[in-house]
Amino acid sequence: MTAPGAGDTVSASQPWRLDGQLAVVTGASSGIGRAMALELADLGADLMLAARRLPALEESAELIRTRAPACRIWMVAADLATEAGREALWVAMQARGSLQILINNVGFNIRKRMEHLTLEEYRQVQEVNTTTAFELCRRLLPLLRAGAPASVVNNASVAGLTHLRTGAPYGMSKAALIQLTRNLAVEWAPFDIRVNAVAPWYIDTPLARQVMDDDQYLAEILSRTPMGRVGTPEEVARVMAFLCLPAAAYVTGQCLAVDGGFSVYGF
């Protein structure tokens, strides 16, 4: 059994830095993924960026190099919702040998009511949002163990905590991601791997703008948000980055809502 306070040695020297650590960030070409990559680079981490579109990944890399010139960056242009895409990332990561941070950020939705959804659409949402994270955790576990202490952060949603108009498949996928977080936190604690999640509300990203461009819909969002505004990708990224830091060495199995108070807003 580990002695009380033994984890203090992990964070004693540089609790607020990630120097020398390697992070995989999925969906790194825009939105929260790009903001997360920038935040980790600012904290000293090196990066493996993954997304479908190489030109957008290169834009992210250029922004990172401007802000954090010392950051080493690798890129994998692949659809991680496919076995071939996950294999491409695995092959690229094997050359690195170990891993300290995995950010499961890839997300997707088809906004329809249940009666209008096809089984194929349902499966597509689950494959992108849940299976991708599950498979990356499974495939990259040997590298996380080699790099421990290590941290996994899953980008879930308040849709996994309560009803939203995002549709049942999306809410189901995010609830599953939160439960995956809890289970792996317990399973992987003996390996010195922490697993946490964040649950954002409406954030100013390309995915959310699809509905926030509707002024009436945006007004309803704001009326349900105590802070009276939508969040920014940077605000989510900073919470995710905290969960990766040695300063959070005793935090695991948690899901932190980044929602301007939405999830606790009663009457």
By annotation, the residues acting in catalysis are: 170
Indicate the residue type of 53.
Answer: R
Residue 12, C-beta contacts closer than 8 angstroms, at least 6 positions apart: none
Tokens of 27: 């969906």
DSSP symbol at 16: T
Spatial separation of the C-alpha atoms in residues 42 and 89, rounded to whole Å: 23
Indicate the residue type of 220.
Answer: E
Other beta carbons within 10 Å of 207: 15
Spatial separation of the C-alpha atoms in residues 178 and 182, rounded to whole Å: 7
DSSP letters, 4-34, are TTTTHHHHSS-TT--TT-EEEEETTTSHHHH
Termini Cα distance of the chain:
46
Which of 50, 45, 48 lies closest to 21, judged by CA? 45
